[in-house]
Chain A
Amino acid sequence: MIELEGLTKRYGEKMAVNHLTFTVRPGIVTGFLGPNGAGKSTTMRMLLGLDRPTAGDVRIDGQHYDRLKDPLKYIGALLDAKAMHGGRSAFNHLLCLAQSNGIPRARVHEVLDTVGLTAVAKKKAKGFSLGMGQRLGIAGALLGDPRILMFDEPVNGLDPEGIHWIRNLMKSLAAQGRTVFVSSHLMSEMALTADHLVVIGQGRLLADTSMADFIRQNSRSYVRIRSPQRERLLDVLHGAGITVVEAGGEALEVDGTKSEHIGELAAQHQLVLHELSPQQASLEEAFMQLTAESVEYHAHSDPGLGATAPAAAPPVAPPAGQQAPQWGNDWKKG
Protein backbone atom coordinates (compact mmCIF):
# COMPACT_ATOMS: atom_id res chain seq x y z
CA MET A 1 0.00 0.00 0.00
CA ILE A 2 1.30 3.41 -1.00
CA GLU A 3 -0.44 6.51 0.35
CA LEU A 4 0.17 10.00 -0.99
CA GLU A 5 -1.31 12.97 0.77
CA GLY A 6 -1.07 16.45 -0.67
CA LEU A 7 2.30 15.53 -2.13
CA THR A 8 3.85 18.62 -3.69
CA LYS A 9 7.19 19.36 -5.33
CA ARG A 10 8.16 22.79 -6.53
CA TYR A 11 11.28 23.59 -8.55
CA GLY A 12 11.62 27.35 -8.32
CA GLU A 13 8.50 28.74 -9.96
CA LYS A 14 7.44 25.47 -11.54
CA MET A 15 5.09 23.11 -9.74
CA ALA A 16 6.31 19.68 -10.81
CA VAL A 17 3.90 17.85 -8.55
CA ASN A 18 0.87 19.70 -7.28
CA HIS A 19 -0.98 18.44 -4.24
CA LEU A 20 -1.33 14.78 -5.22
CA THR A 21 -3.53 12.64 -3.02
CA PHE A 22 -4.25 9.02 -3.88
CA THR A 23 -3.71 5.49 -2.65
CA VAL A 24 -2.14 2.58 -4.48
CA ARG A 25 -3.75 -0.64 -3.31
CA PRO A 26 -2.44 -4.21 -3.18
CA GLY A 27 -3.62 -7.04 -5.40
CA ILE A 28 -4.01 -5.00 -8.56
CA VAL A 29 -1.86 -3.27 -11.15
CA THR A 30 -2.25 0.48 -10.81
CA GLY A 31 -1.30 2.44 -13.89
CA PHE A 32 0.22 5.87 -13.38
CA LEU A 33 -0.46 7.74 -16.55
CA GLY A 34 0.45 11.16 -17.79
CA PRO A 35 2.08 12.94 -20.72
CA ASN A 36 5.84 13.40 -20.68
CA GLY A 37 6.79 15.94 -18.05
CA ALA A 38 3.57 15.46 -16.06
CA GLY A 39 5.51 14.70 -12.87
CA LYS A 40 5.37 10.90 -12.82
CA SER A 41 9.07 10.32 -12.25
CA THR A 42 9.30 13.12 -9.70
CA THR A 43 6.44 11.56 -7.77
CA MET A 44 8.16 8.17 -7.86
CA ARG A 45 11.46 9.65 -6.70
CA MET A 46 9.72 11.29 -3.75
CA LEU A 47 8.14 7.96 -2.93
CA LEU A 48 11.63 6.47 -2.58
CA GLY A 49 12.91 9.34 -0.50
CA LEU A 50 15.29 10.43 -3.29
CA ASP A 51 13.67 13.85 -3.70
CA ARG A 52 12.30 15.75 -0.76
CA PRO A 53 8.67 16.89 -1.08
CA THR A 54 8.08 20.64 -0.81
CA ALA A 55 4.88 19.78 1.05
CA GLY A 56 2.70 16.78 1.79
CA ASP A 57 3.48 13.28 2.73
CA VAL A 58 3.98 9.85 1.23
CA ARG A 59 3.97 6.59 3.17
CA ILE A 60 4.87 3.02 2.33
CA ASP A 61 2.80 0.59 4.40
CA GLY A 62 2.20 3.46 6.78
CA GLN A 63 5.86 4.40 7.17
CA HIS A 64 8.16 7.00 5.67
CA TYR A 65 10.62 5.46 3.24
CA ASP A 66 13.73 6.35 5.22
CA ARG A 67 12.26 4.69 8.32
CA LEU A 68 12.02 1.32 6.60
CA LYS A 69 14.52 -1.26 7.80
CA ASP A 70 15.98 -2.93 4.71
CA PRO A 71 13.66 -1.05 2.31
CA LEU A 72 14.27 -3.41 -0.62
CA LYS A 73 12.25 -5.98 1.32
CA TYR A 74 9.25 -3.62 1.36
CA ILE A 75 9.38 -1.98 -2.03
CA GLY A 76 11.34 -2.75 -5.18
CA ALA A 77 11.65 -0.07 -7.79
CA LEU A 78 12.82 0.22 -11.36
CA LEU A 79 13.52 3.89 -12.01
CA ASP A 80 15.71 4.28 -15.04
CA ALA A 81 17.34 1.28 -16.64
CA LYS A 82 20.80 2.78 -16.63
CA ALA A 83 20.92 3.67 -12.91
CA MET A 84 23.90 1.36 -12.45
CA HIS A 85 27.68 1.37 -12.85
CA GLY A 86 28.47 0.13 -16.34
CA GLY A 87 31.81 -1.29 -15.29
CA ARG A 88 30.28 -3.64 -12.74
CA SER A 89 29.01 -7.10 -13.70
CA ALA A 90 25.30 -7.82 -13.45
CA PHE A 91 25.98 -10.25 -10.61
CA ASN A 92 28.06 -7.79 -8.58
CA HIS A 93 25.53 -5.00 -9.17
CA LEU A 94 22.82 -7.15 -7.63
CA LEU A 95 25.16 -8.53 -4.95
CA CYS A 96 26.01 -5.09 -3.56
CA LEU A 97 22.31 -4.20 -3.44
CA ALA A 98 21.50 -7.51 -1.74
CA GLN A 99 24.24 -7.12 0.87
CA SER A 100 23.12 -3.62 1.80
CA ASN A 101 19.71 -5.01 2.75
CA GLY A 102 20.84 -8.29 4.27
CA ILE A 103 19.48 -10.37 1.41
CA PRO A 104 21.24 -13.73 0.92
CA ARG A 105 23.55 -14.24 -2.06
CA ALA A 106 21.46 -17.15 -3.35
CA ARG A 107 18.61 -14.73 -4.04
CA VAL A 108 20.83 -12.91 -6.56
CA HIS A 109 21.05 -16.10 -8.64
CA GLU A 110 17.29 -16.55 -8.34
CA VAL A 111 16.36 -13.11 -9.68
CA LEU A 112 18.97 -13.35 -12.45
CA ASP A 113 17.24 -16.54 -13.49
CA THR A 114 13.79 -14.92 -13.25
CA VAL A 115 14.72 -12.13 -15.64
CA GLY A 116 16.71 -14.44 -17.91
CA LEU A 117 20.15 -12.90 -17.41
CA THR A 118 21.96 -15.89 -15.87
CA ALA A 119 24.05 -16.39 -19.00
CA VAL A 120 25.43 -12.85 -18.86
CA ALA A 121 25.68 -12.54 -15.07
CA LYS A 122 29.46 -12.07 -15.20
CA LYS A 123 29.34 -9.56 -18.06
CA LYS A 124 29.72 -5.85 -17.49
CA ALA A 125 26.46 -3.91 -17.58
CA LYS A 126 27.81 -1.37 -20.08
CA GLY A 127 27.69 -4.01 -22.82
CA PHE A 128 24.00 -4.56 -22.21
CA SER A 129 21.27 -3.44 -24.59
CA LEU A 130 18.55 -1.17 -23.23
CA GLY A 131 16.29 -4.19 -22.90
CA MET A 132 18.90 -6.17 -20.92
CA GLY A 133 19.54 -3.13 -18.71
CA GLN A 134 15.80 -2.95 -18.10
CA ARG A 135 15.75 -6.62 -17.12
CA LEU A 136 18.67 -6.09 -14.74
CA GLY A 137 16.82 -3.15 -13.20
CA ILE A 138 13.76 -5.35 -12.74
CA ALA A 139 15.94 -8.05 -11.16
CA GLY A 140 17.06 -5.40 -8.66
CA ALA A 141 13.44 -4.52 -7.91
CA LEU A 142 12.55 -8.18 -7.28
CA LEU A 143 15.64 -8.82 -5.13
CA GLY A 144 14.05 -8.32 -1.72
CA ASP A 145 10.86 -10.21 -2.64
CA PRO A 146 8.96 -7.01 -1.78
CA ARG A 147 5.21 -6.64 -1.26
CA ILE A 148 5.24 -3.44 -3.31
CA LEU A 149 6.73 -2.99 -6.78
CA MET A 150 7.12 0.19 -8.70
CA PHE A 151 8.16 0.44 -12.33
CA ASP A 152 8.84 3.68 -14.19
CA GLU A 153 8.16 3.19 -17.91
CA PRO A 154 9.18 -0.48 -17.81
CA VAL A 155 8.45 -1.36 -21.43
CA ASN A 156 10.76 1.34 -22.78
CA GLY A 157 13.38 -0.22 -25.00
CA LEU A 158 12.02 -3.73 -24.72
CA ASP A 159 11.39 -5.89 -27.77
CA PRO A 160 7.90 -7.36 -28.27
CA GLU A 161 8.85 -10.54 -26.45
CA GLY A 162 10.19 -8.47 -23.56
CA ILE A 163 7.05 -6.34 -23.45
CA HIS A 164 4.92 -9.46 -23.30
CA TRP A 165 7.12 -10.81 -20.51
CA ILE A 166 6.90 -7.65 -18.37
CA ARG A 167 3.11 -7.44 -18.80
CA ASN A 168 2.70 -10.99 -17.57
CA LEU A 169 5.19 -10.40 -14.76
CA MET A 170 3.26 -7.39 -13.50
CA LYS A 171 -0.04 -9.22 -13.66
CA SER A 172 1.30 -12.26 -11.84
CA LEU A 173 2.89 -10.07 -9.15
CA ALA A 174 -0.48 -8.40 -8.60
CA ALA A 175 -2.23 -11.78 -8.60
CA GLN A 176 0.07 -12.81 -5.74
CA GLY A 177 -1.51 -9.97 -3.76
CA ARG A 178 1.35 -7.49 -4.22
CA THR A 179 0.96 -3.79 -4.88
CA VAL A 180 2.09 -2.98 -8.42
CA PHE A 181 2.47 0.66 -9.43
CA VAL A 182 3.58 1.25 -12.98
CA SER A 183 3.99 4.48 -14.91
CA SER A 184 3.55 5.01 -18.61
CA HIS A 185 2.76 7.73 -21.08
CA LEU A 186 0.96 5.24 -23.33
CA MET A 187 -2.71 4.64 -22.67
CA SER A 188 -2.72 1.60 -24.95
CA GLU A 189 -0.07 -0.04 -22.79
CA MET A 190 -2.04 0.66 -19.62
CA ALA A 191 -5.25 -0.65 -21.15
CA LEU A 192 -3.56 -4.02 -21.47
CA THR A 193 -2.07 -4.25 -17.98
CA ALA A 194 -3.67 -1.93 -15.46
CA ASP A 195 -6.75 -2.60 -13.34
CA HIS A 196 -6.79 0.87 -11.89
CA LEU A 197 -5.74 4.20 -13.33
CA VAL A 198 -4.24 7.30 -11.81
CA VAL A 199 -3.90 10.04 -14.42
CA ILE A 200 -1.91 13.21 -13.83
CA GLY A 201 -1.13 16.23 -15.96
CA GLN A 202 1.17 19.10 -15.05
CA GLY A 203 1.54 17.60 -11.61
CA ARG A 204 -2.20 17.60 -10.85
CA LEU A 205 -4.47 14.62 -10.34
CA LEU A 206 -6.85 14.33 -13.31
CA ALA A 207 -8.40 10.94 -12.66
CA ASP A 208 -8.30 8.17 -10.08
CA THR A 209 -10.59 5.47 -11.37
CA SER A 210 -10.87 1.81 -12.20
CA MET A 211 -9.88 0.87 -15.72
CA ALA A 212 -13.38 -0.47 -16.40
CA ASP A 213 -15.00 2.81 -15.41
CA PHE A 214 -12.50 4.76 -17.44
CA ILE A 215 -13.25 2.72 -20.54
CA ARG A 216 -17.00 3.00 -20.00
CA GLN A 217 -16.89 6.75 -19.55
CA ASN A 218 -14.38 7.56 -22.18
CA SER A 219 -14.91 5.31 -25.13
CA ARG A 220 -16.94 7.35 -27.57
CA SER A 221 -18.69 5.47 -30.31
CA TYR A 222 -19.85 7.15 -33.48
CA VAL A 223 -20.73 6.46 -37.09
CA ARG A 224 -18.55 7.62 -39.92
CA ILE A 225 -20.25 8.47 -43.23
CA ARG A 226 -19.00 9.48 -46.67
CA SER A 227 -21.31 10.34 -49.50
CA PRO A 228 -20.99 12.06 -52.92
CA GLN A 229 -24.30 13.77 -52.12
CA ARG A 230 -22.96 15.37 -49.00
CA GLU A 231 -25.15 18.48 -48.87
CA ARG A 232 -28.38 16.56 -49.33
CA LEU A 233 -27.36 14.02 -46.76
CA LEU A 234 -26.66 16.82 -44.27
CA ASP A 235 -30.14 18.20 -44.87
CA VAL A 236 -31.72 14.80 -44.38
CA LEU A 237 -29.85 14.15 -41.15
CA HIS A 238 -30.63 17.62 -39.80
CA GLY A 239 -34.22 17.10 -40.75
CA ALA A 240 -34.26 13.90 -38.68
CA GLY A 241 -32.83 15.80 -35.71
CA ILE A 242 -29.45 14.12 -35.87
CA THR A 243 -26.39 16.15 -34.97
CA VAL A 244 -23.60 15.81 -37.51
CA VAL A 245 -19.97 16.65 -37.03
CA GLU A 246 -17.95 17.41 -40.13
CA ALA A 247 -14.73 15.45 -39.91
CA GLY A 248 -11.68 15.93 -42.11
CA GLY A 249 -12.03 15.52 -45.86
CA GLU A 250 -15.55 14.75 -46.95
CA ALA A 251 -16.35 12.50 -43.99
CA LEU A 252 -19.15 13.15 -41.55
CA GLU A 253 -19.44 11.78 -38.04
CA VAL A 254 -22.59 11.11 -36.08
CA ASP A 255 -22.71 10.51 -32.35
CA GLY A 256 -25.38 8.54 -30.55
CA THR A 257 -27.19 7.12 -33.56
CA LYS A 258 -26.96 3.58 -34.86
CA SER A 259 -25.53 3.01 -38.32
CA GLU A 260 -28.64 1.00 -39.25
CA HIS A 261 -30.84 4.04 -38.69
CA ILE A 262 -28.65 6.25 -40.83
CA GLY A 263 -28.48 3.68 -43.59
CA GLU A 264 -32.26 3.40 -43.67
CA LEU A 265 -32.64 7.17 -43.74
CA ALA A 266 -30.26 7.37 -46.69
CA ALA A 267 -32.12 4.62 -48.51
CA GLN A 268 -35.47 6.38 -48.01
CA HIS A 269 -34.05 9.49 -49.68
CA GLN A 270 -32.18 7.46 -52.29
CA LEU A 271 -28.80 8.79 -51.28
CA VAL A 272 -25.58 7.10 -52.34
CA LEU A 273 -23.24 6.24 -49.49
CA HIS A 274 -19.55 5.43 -50.02
CA GLU A 275 -18.98 4.66 -46.39
CA LEU A 276 -21.13 3.86 -43.38
CA SER A 277 -19.01 2.54 -40.55
CA PRO A 278 -19.47 2.34 -36.80
CA GLN A 279 -16.36 3.61 -35.04
CA GLN A 280 -15.01 3.38 -31.52
CA ALA A 281 -12.80 6.22 -30.32
CA SER A 282 -9.69 4.78 -28.78
CA LEU A 283 -8.74 5.08 -25.15
CA GLU A 284 -5.68 6.90 -26.40
CA GLU A 285 -7.98 9.63 -27.68
CA ALA A 286 -9.87 9.72 -24.39
CA PHE A 287 -6.60 10.06 -22.55
CA MET A 288 -5.45 12.82 -24.87
CA GLN A 289 -8.67 14.71 -24.32
CA LEU A 290 -8.37 14.31 -20.57
CA THR A 291 -4.84 15.62 -20.50
CA ALA A 292 -5.20 18.12 -23.35
CA GLU A 293 -5.29 21.18 -21.14
CA SER A 294 -2.40 20.00 -19.08
CA VAL A 295 -0.01 19.30 -21.93
CA GLU A 296 2.45 22.14 -22.11
CA TYR A 297 2.93 22.24 -25.85
CA HIS A 298 0.31 20.77 -28.11
CA ALA A 299 -1.32 21.39 -31.43
CA HIS A 300 -4.70 23.00 -30.98
CA SER A 301 -7.76 21.05 -31.91
CA ASP A 302 -11.31 21.72 -30.91
CA PRO A 303 -13.67 18.82 -31.37
CA GLY A 304 -16.67 21.15 -30.88
CA LEU A 305 -15.95 22.85 -34.20
CA GLY A 306 -15.86 19.46 -35.78
CA ALA A 307 -12.86 20.11 -37.95
CA THR A 308 -9.77 18.20 -37.07
CA ALA A 309 -10.00 16.42 -33.75
CA PRO A 310 -10.66 12.84 -34.78
CA ALA A 311 -8.74 13.18 -38.01
CA ALA A 312 -5.72 14.58 -36.21
CA ALA A 313 -5.70 11.68 -33.80
CA PRO A 314 -3.53 8.70 -34.66
CA PRO A 315 -5.08 6.25 -37.09
CA VAL A 316 -6.95 4.23 -34.52
CA ALA A 317 -10.72 3.99 -34.40
CA PRO A 318 -11.16 0.34 -35.32
CA PRO A 319 -14.61 -0.96 -36.31
CA ALA A 320 -16.59 -1.28 -33.13
CA GLY A 321 -18.10 -4.62 -33.96
CA GLN A 322 -14.79 -6.43 -34.21
CA GLN A 323 -12.16 -4.86 -32.07
CA ALA A 324 -13.78 -2.95 -29.27
CA PRO A 325 -14.96 -6.01 -27.33
CA GLN A 326 -11.49 -7.54 -27.64
CA TRP A 327 -9.92 -4.66 -25.76
CA GLY A 328 -12.30 -5.27 -22.95
CA ASN A 329 -11.64 -8.97 -23.01
CA ASP A 330 -7.91 -8.47 -23.02
CA TRP A 331 -7.66 -6.39 -19.93
CA LYS A 332 -10.31 -8.40 -18.14
CA LYS A 333 -8.60 -11.67 -18.91
CA GLY A 334 -5.34 -10.28 -17.52
Chain B
Amino acid sequence: MAATQVVRSEWTKIRSVASTVWTLSLAAVVTVALGVLISLLSKNEFDDLSTKDRLSFDPTFISFAGMSLGQLAMIVFGVLVVSNEYSTGMIRTSLAAVPQRGTFLFSKIAVATGLAFVVALATSFVAFFLGQAMLGSHRASIDDPGVLRAVIGGGLYMTLIALFSMGVATMLRSPMLSLGILMPFFFLISAILGNVDATKKFGQYLPDQAGSKIMQVVTPIDDDVPYGPWGGLGIMVLWVLVAVAGGYVLLKKRDA
Protein backbone atom coordinates (compact mmCIF):
# COMPACT_ATOMS: atom_id res chain seq x y z
CA MET B 1 0.00 0.00 0.00
CA ALA B 2 1.57 3.18 -1.12
CA ALA B 3 1.32 5.91 1.50
CA THR B 4 0.82 8.54 -1.23
CA GLN B 5 -2.45 6.83 -2.23
CA VAL B 6 -3.67 6.97 1.34
CA VAL B 7 -2.61 10.63 1.69
CA ARG B 8 -4.60 11.51 -1.44
CA SER B 9 -7.57 9.58 -0.07
CA GLU B 10 -7.38 11.40 3.26
CA TRP B 11 -7.20 14.74 1.44
CA THR B 12 -10.42 13.86 -0.39
CA LYS B 13 -11.99 12.93 2.94
CA ILE B 14 -10.99 16.12 4.72
CA ARG B 15 -12.02 18.48 1.95
CA SER B 16 -15.38 16.78 1.39
CA VAL B 17 -16.96 17.39 4.79
CA ALA B 18 -18.36 20.67 6.04
CA SER B 19 -16.91 20.44 9.56
CA THR B 20 -13.39 21.02 8.21
CA VAL B 21 -14.33 24.33 6.66
CA TRP B 22 -16.31 25.71 9.54
CA THR B 23 -13.97 24.70 12.36
CA LEU B 24 -10.89 26.09 10.62
CA SER B 25 -12.71 29.28 9.57
CA LEU B 26 -13.97 29.75 13.09
CA ALA B 27 -10.47 29.27 14.51
CA ALA B 28 -9.11 31.95 12.16
CA VAL B 29 -11.94 34.45 12.57
CA VAL B 30 -12.15 34.16 16.37
CA THR B 31 -8.38 34.41 16.84
CA VAL B 32 -8.06 37.47 14.62
CA ALA B 33 -11.21 39.28 15.77
CA LEU B 34 -10.57 38.80 19.47
CA GLY B 35 -6.90 39.71 19.01
CA VAL B 36 -7.89 42.96 17.29
CA LEU B 37 -10.38 43.79 20.02
CA ILE B 38 -7.97 43.14 22.88
CA SER B 39 -5.18 45.02 21.11
CA LEU B 40 -7.48 48.03 20.79
CA LEU B 41 -8.46 47.87 24.48
CA SER B 42 -4.81 47.48 25.54
CA LYS B 43 -3.79 50.56 23.63
CA ASN B 44 -6.50 52.63 25.28
CA GLU B 45 -5.53 51.40 28.75
CA PHE B 46 -1.76 51.65 28.30
CA ASP B 47 -1.59 55.05 29.97
CA ASP B 48 -3.27 53.70 33.11
CA LEU B 49 -0.76 50.85 33.51
CA SER B 50 1.77 50.77 36.36
CA THR B 51 5.45 51.14 35.47
CA LYS B 52 6.01 47.46 36.10
CA ASP B 53 3.21 46.50 33.75
CA ARG B 54 4.48 48.94 31.13
CA LEU B 55 7.89 47.25 31.22
CA SER B 56 6.22 43.87 30.73
CA PHE B 57 3.98 45.18 27.93
CA ASP B 58 4.28 42.72 25.06
CA PRO B 59 2.45 44.01 21.98
CA THR B 60 3.16 40.83 20.00
CA PHE B 61 1.74 38.56 22.68
CA ILE B 62 -1.31 40.82 23.10
CA SER B 63 -2.19 40.51 19.42
CA PHE B 64 -2.37 36.70 19.95
CA ALA B 65 -4.83 37.00 22.85
CA GLY B 66 -7.60 35.67 20.60
CA MET B 67 -5.90 32.28 20.49
CA SER B 68 -7.22 31.41 23.95
CA LEU B 69 -10.62 31.13 22.32
CA GLY B 70 -9.57 30.36 18.74
CA GLN B 71 -7.68 27.28 19.91
CA LEU B 72 -11.00 25.76 21.00
CA ALA B 73 -12.11 25.68 17.37
CA MET B 74 -8.76 24.06 16.52
CA ILE B 75 -9.48 21.43 19.17
CA VAL B 76 -12.88 20.75 17.59
CA PHE B 77 -11.19 20.43 14.19
CA GLY B 78 -8.62 17.95 15.49
CA VAL B 79 -11.19 15.91 17.36
CA LEU B 80 -13.71 15.74 14.49
CA VAL B 81 -11.13 14.77 11.86
CA VAL B 82 -10.47 11.57 13.78
CA SER B 83 -13.65 10.80 15.71
CA ASN B 84 -15.92 11.35 12.68
CA GLU B 85 -14.61 8.01 11.47
CA TYR B 86 -15.87 6.34 14.61
CA SER B 87 -19.15 8.16 15.13
CA THR B 88 -20.27 7.48 11.55
CA GLY B 89 -19.02 3.89 11.29
CA MET B 90 -16.77 4.95 8.40
CA ILE B 91 -13.79 3.52 10.31
CA ARG B 92 -14.70 -0.03 9.29
CA THR B 93 -14.89 0.94 5.63
CA SER B 94 -11.64 2.90 5.95
CA LEU B 95 -9.69 0.12 7.65
CA ALA B 96 -11.01 -2.46 5.21
CA ALA B 97 -9.59 -0.27 2.42
CA VAL B 98 -6.34 0.44 4.30
CA PRO B 99 -5.65 -2.42 6.71
CA GLN B 100 -2.21 -1.06 7.61
CA ARG B 101 -3.39 0.95 10.57
CA GLY B 102 -0.18 2.91 11.00
CA THR B 103 -0.32 4.07 7.38
CA PHE B 104 -3.97 4.97 7.83
CA LEU B 105 -3.50 6.98 11.02
CA PHE B 106 -0.32 8.81 10.04
CA SER B 107 -1.65 9.71 6.59
CA LYS B 108 -4.79 11.12 8.15
CA ILE B 109 -2.79 13.03 10.78
CA ALA B 110 -0.30 14.31 8.20
CA VAL B 111 -3.03 15.71 5.96
CA ALA B 112 -5.01 17.27 8.82
CA THR B 113 -1.88 18.71 10.45
CA GLY B 114 -0.63 20.14 7.17
CA LEU B 115 -3.95 21.85 6.55
CA ALA B 116 -4.12 23.10 10.14
CA PHE B 117 -0.59 24.51 9.85
CA VAL B 118 -1.38 26.51 6.70
CA VAL B 119 -4.50 28.00 8.30
CA ALA B 120 -2.81 28.58 11.66
CA LEU B 121 0.23 30.29 10.17
CA ALA B 122 -1.90 32.59 8.04
CA THR B 123 -4.08 33.32 11.07
CA SER B 124 -1.04 34.11 13.17
CA PHE B 125 0.34 36.61 10.65
CA VAL B 126 -3.02 38.30 10.12
CA ALA B 127 -3.65 38.47 13.88
CA PHE B 128 -0.21 40.01 14.39
CA PHE B 129 -0.44 42.69 11.69
CA LEU B 130 -4.02 43.70 12.46
CA GLY B 131 -3.29 43.64 16.19
CA GLN B 132 -0.24 45.89 15.78
CA ALA B 133 -2.27 48.26 13.60
CA MET B 134 -4.70 48.64 16.55
CA LEU B 135 -1.89 49.19 19.05
CA GLY B 136 -0.77 52.40 17.26
CA SER B 137 2.36 53.89 18.85
CA HIS B 138 2.86 50.88 21.16
CA ARG B 139 3.17 48.44 18.31
CA ALA B 140 5.95 45.97 17.65
CA SER B 141 7.56 45.47 14.25
CA ILE B 142 8.07 42.13 12.57
CA ASP B 143 11.77 43.08 12.36
CA ASP B 144 12.13 43.46 16.12
CA PRO B 145 14.17 40.74 17.83
CA GLY B 146 12.07 37.64 18.59
CA VAL B 147 8.93 38.91 16.89
CA LEU B 148 9.11 36.77 13.73
CA ARG B 149 9.83 33.75 15.91
CA ALA B 150 6.74 34.55 17.99
CA VAL B 151 4.49 34.95 14.92
CA ILE B 152 5.62 31.70 13.31
CA GLY B 153 5.46 30.17 16.80
CA GLY B 154 1.81 31.20 17.03
CA GLY B 155 1.10 29.14 13.92
CA LEU B 156 3.04 26.19 15.34
CA TYR B 157 1.23 26.47 18.66
CA MET B 158 -2.25 26.23 17.10
CA THR B 159 -1.13 23.38 14.85
CA LEU B 160 0.19 21.45 17.83
CA ILE B 161 -3.09 22.01 19.70
CA ALA B 162 -4.95 20.44 16.76
CA LEU B 163 -2.45 17.57 16.58
CA PHE B 164 -2.71 16.92 20.32
CA SER B 165 -6.50 16.76 19.93
CA MET B 166 -6.16 14.23 17.10
CA GLY B 167 -4.04 12.01 19.34
CA VAL B 168 -6.51 12.22 22.22
CA ALA B 169 -9.47 11.59 19.90
CA THR B 170 -7.73 8.51 18.45
CA MET B 171 -7.42 7.16 21.97
CA LEU B 172 -10.97 8.00 23.08
CA ARG B 173 -12.83 7.55 19.74
CA SER B 174 -15.99 9.34 20.93
CA PRO B 175 -16.22 12.98 19.81
CA MET B 176 -18.33 13.96 22.83
CA LEU B 177 -15.94 12.39 25.31
CA SER B 178 -12.90 13.91 23.59
CA LEU B 179 -14.40 17.40 23.45
CA GLY B 180 -15.77 17.04 26.96
CA ILE B 181 -12.26 16.50 28.25
CA LEU B 182 -10.23 18.77 25.99
CA MET B 183 -12.42 21.90 25.94
CA PRO B 184 -12.69 22.47 29.70
CA PHE B 185 -9.08 21.43 30.12
CA PHE B 186 -7.67 24.02 27.74
CA PHE B 187 -10.21 26.73 28.49
CA LEU B 188 -10.34 26.53 32.27
CA ILE B 189 -8.34 23.90 34.09
CA SER B 190 -4.98 24.59 32.53
CA ALA B 191 -5.34 28.33 33.07
CA ILE B 192 -6.28 27.81 36.71
CA LEU B 193 -3.45 25.36 37.39
CA GLY B 194 -0.99 27.68 35.68
CA ASN B 195 -1.99 30.78 37.63
CA VAL B 196 -2.66 29.56 41.16
CA ASP B 197 0.61 29.69 43.13
CA ALA B 198 0.18 26.26 44.71
CA THR B 199 -0.10 24.48 41.35
CA LYS B 200 1.97 26.81 39.20
CA LYS B 201 5.09 24.59 39.37
CA PHE B 202 3.10 21.78 37.81
CA GLY B 203 0.79 23.89 35.65
CA GLN B 204 3.59 25.50 33.68
CA TYR B 205 4.45 22.12 32.18
CA LEU B 206 0.97 21.62 30.71
CA PRO B 207 0.99 21.63 26.88
CA ASP B 208 -0.68 24.99 26.30
CA GLN B 209 1.10 26.79 29.15
CA ALA B 210 4.50 25.60 27.94
CA GLY B 211 3.72 25.98 24.24
CA SER B 212 2.41 29.53 24.43
CA LYS B 213 5.82 30.69 25.69
CA ILE B 214 6.91 30.72 22.02
CA MET B 215 4.60 33.69 21.39
CA GLN B 216 6.15 35.88 24.12
CA VAL B 217 8.66 38.50 23.03
CA VAL B 218 8.95 40.47 26.29
CA THR B 219 9.60 38.34 29.35
CA PRO B 220 7.50 39.46 32.34
CA ILE B 221 9.64 40.99 35.11
CA ASP B 222 9.01 38.48 37.88
CA ASP B 223 8.99 35.56 35.47
CA ASP B 224 10.60 32.42 36.90
CA VAL B 225 9.62 29.94 34.20
CA PRO B 226 12.53 27.49 33.86
CA TYR B 227 12.34 27.18 30.07
CA GLY B 228 12.66 29.51 27.09
CA PRO B 229 10.38 29.88 24.05
CA TRP B 230 11.76 26.85 22.21
CA GLY B 231 12.07 24.85 25.41
CA GLY B 232 8.39 25.50 26.05
CA LEU B 233 7.46 24.45 22.54
CA GLY B 234 9.59 21.34 23.04
CA ILE B 235 7.59 20.43 26.14
CA MET B 236 4.39 20.82 24.12
CA VAL B 237 5.79 18.64 21.35
CA LEU B 238 6.49 15.93 23.95
CA TRP B 239 2.85 16.02 25.05
CA VAL B 240 1.75 15.77 21.43
CA LEU B 241 4.06 12.82 20.77
CA VAL B 242 2.69 10.99 23.80
CA ALA B 243 -0.92 11.60 22.72
CA VAL B 244 -0.31 10.48 19.13
CA ALA B 245 1.74 7.46 20.20
CA GLY B 246 -1.01 6.48 22.65
CA GLY B 247 -3.58 6.76 19.86
CA TYR B 248 -1.43 4.69 17.51
CA VAL B 249 -0.86 1.91 20.04
CA LEU B 250 -4.57 1.67 20.87
CA LEU B 251 -5.66 1.77 17.22
CA LYS B 252 -3.14 -0.94 16.39
CA LYS B 253 -4.31 -3.15 19.24
CA ARG B 254 -8.05 -2.95 19.42
CA ASP B 255 -10.86 -4.21 17.20
CA ALA B 256 -12.31 -1.64 14.86
Residues of A at under 8 Å CB distance from B?
45, 48-52, 65-66, 68-72, 77, 79-80, 82-89, 92, 95-102, 140
Contacts and interface: CB of A to CB of B under 8 A. Distances in A.
B5 A50 contact: no
Contacts of B90: 83-85
Contacts of A92: 12-13, 16
Given A50-B256, A86-B88, A87-B18, A100 B98 contact: yes
A85 B9 CA distance: 14
A251 to B, nearest CB: 48
B97 A71 contact: yes
A80 B89 contact: yes
Contacts of A48: 92, 95-96, 99
28 contacts: A45-B256, A48-B95, A48-B96, A48-B99, A49-B95, A50-B92, A50-B95, A50-B96, A70-B5, A71-B97, A72-B97, A77-B96, A83-B88, A83-B91, A84-B93, A85-B90, A88-B16, A89-B16, A92-B12, A92-B16, A95-B16, A96-B16, A99-B9, A99-B12, A100-B1, A100-B6, A100-B98, A140-B93
Interface in B4-22: 5-6, 8-10, 12-13, 16-19
Contacts of B97: 71-72, 97, 100-101
Contact of A96 (B9, B89, B91, B96): B9
Contacts of A80: 89, 92
A83 B92 contact: yes
B100 interface: yes
B84 interface: yes
B99 A83 contact: no
Given A49-B99, A50-B96, A99-B5, A85 B84 contact: yes
Contacts of A89: 16
Contacts of B8: 99-100
Interface of B: 1-2, 5-6, 8-10, 12-13, 16-19, 84-85, 88-100, 255-256
Contacts of A101: 1, 5, 97
A65 B18 CA distance: 33
A80 B96 CA distance: 12
Nearest to B8: A99
Nearest to A78: B93
Given A45-B255, A100-B5, A100-B98, 15 more contacts: A48-B95, A49-B95, A49-B99, A50-B256, A82-B89, A83-B88, A83-B90, A83-B93, A84-B89, A88-B16, A95-B12, A96-B12, A99-B8, A100-B6, A140-B93
A70 B9 CA distance: 13
Given A82-B89, A84-B93, A51 B17 contact: no
A307 to B, nearest CB: 44
- A-B CB proximity, top 4 nearest: A100-B9, A92-B16, A66-B99, A99-B9
Contacts of B99: 48-49, 65-66, 68, 71
Contact of A88 (B10, B13, B95): B13
A71 B18 CA distance: 29
A169 B12 CA distance: 29
A157 to B, nearest CB: 15
A67 to B, nearest CB: 8
A46 B5 CA distance: 24
A97 B92 contact: no
B6 A79 contact: no
Nearest to A83: B89
Q: Kindly name the residue among B13, B89, B97 whose own CB sees the greatest number of chain A CB atoms within 10 A.
A: B97
Given A85-B88, A89-B16, A102 B2 contact: yes
Nearest to A95: B12
A102 B5 contact: yes
A39 B94 CA distance: 22
Nearest to A137: B93
Contacts of A98: 9
Nearest to B6: A100
